[in-house]
Amino acid sequence: MAEFTAKDVMALREATGAGMMDCKRALVDADGDKEKAADLLRERGIAKAAKRASKIAAEGIVYALVEGKTGVLLEVNCESDFVAKGDKFHALTETVAKQIAKVKPADVAALLASDMGGKTVETFVQEQTAIIGEKISVRRFTVYESAGLVETYIHMGGTMGVMLNFACAENADTKELAHNVALHTAFSKPRYKTADEVSADELEKEKAILKQEVLNEGKPEAIAEKIVLGKIKKFYEENCLLDQKFVKDDKVTVSQLIAETAKKTGASVELKSFCFYVMGQGLEKKSEDLSEEVAKQVEAMKK
């Protein structure tokens, strides 16, 4: 049996909302596999949420930049909240975002290797690391080159960011639509734009989990199949942006909201793509025992 720690139990509890003992039993049954344990909790009806919240422990910011028809969503991490809120860190992040908009690199490696006037971005970040005094990491970014309208939204100073790419004419009505959909996305956190983006493997996995959950409730096999079909429809409504009920008016879906704007303006309006980042998602802070930290500080003073 694979080993797991109390920290693993806590992480599973935070991700699923299940009780400590339920999480521990699930980890035992799953041989320490946290993903499998989360699925077991759902099958048992203990954790029914389809979206699992990742523990957010890293510091940094999510930053958005729009220059003309180019939009950038960027996450840069540091070691402390104090640095993350500082002017120097924000200036660094803005500089990197402008470089991304300018050169449109394929990935982080290409970004770090790109030239920004006699030095690479990697060298620039290293120099700023020495000035700021903390390790700084450019974690991820997305670039949209739009023929229509790019909308961004940053929540609470950089804890989360949204970016949307609309194919449409830019006017007061489409700007209002884009802003509303950006706010909705930040609130609802969709995983896909449409049901077509859900892979066959993930769909089958979801069906299997839902079916086992229904069977565990005592429903017959034949009825369970029908119930699962209804639950899959709800899965799409909860996880696919265009199928979600609009947060400001649950009588319409986001798709219908877009269609209403298109009808109002008499022109085509299409959401081409979206992305959102939650700062630090999937990362964990370095954790040290207080006595160990004090001992290190004392030892450092002796040198």
Does 127 score more than 50 pLDDT? Answer: yes
Is pLDDT larger for residue 98 or for residue 136?
A: 98
Give the three-state DSSP class for 164: strand
pLDDT tens readout for residues 5-61: 888 888 887 777 677 788 888 899 999 988 888 888 878 766 543 333 333 337 999
Q: How many CA atoms lie within 13 A of 25 on its CB side?
A: 9
| Distance separating alpha carbons of residues 152 and 276, to the nearest angstrom | 9
b/e sequence 259-280, b meaning 16+ C-beta within 10 Å: eebbeebeeebebeebbbbbbb
| Distance separating alpha carbons of residues 183 and 50, to the nearest angstrom | 21
| Report field, pTM of the whole predicted structure over 0.75 | no
User: How high is the pLDDT of residue 55?
Assistant: 32
User: How high is the pLDDT of residue 285?
Assistant: 57
Does 290 score more than 50 pLDDT? Answer: no
Mean of pLDDT values over 143-157: 95
Whether the CB-CB separation of 240 and 198 falls below 8 Å is answered with: yes
Does 301 score more than 70 pLDDT? Answer: no
Mean pLDDT for all residues in the chain: 87
| Distance separating alpha carbons of residues 101 and 290, to the nearest angstrom | 43
Mean of pLDDT values over 215-244: 90
User: How high is the pLDDT of residue 292?
Assistant: 53
296 confidence band (pLDDT: 50, 70, 90): low
User: How high is the pLDDT of residue 46?
Assistant: 65
Residue at 246: amino acid letter: F
2 confidence band (pLDDT: 50, 70, 90): low
- Per-residue CA distances from 141 to 105, 202, 262 (Å): 10, 25, 30
The phi, psi pair for 252, rounded to 5°, reads: -130, 150
Give the three-state DSSP class for 152: strand
Mean of pLDDT values over 158-186: 97
| Distance separating alpha carbons of residues 244 and 228, to the nearest angstrom | 19
pLDDT tens readout for residues 200-216: 999 999 889 998 988 89
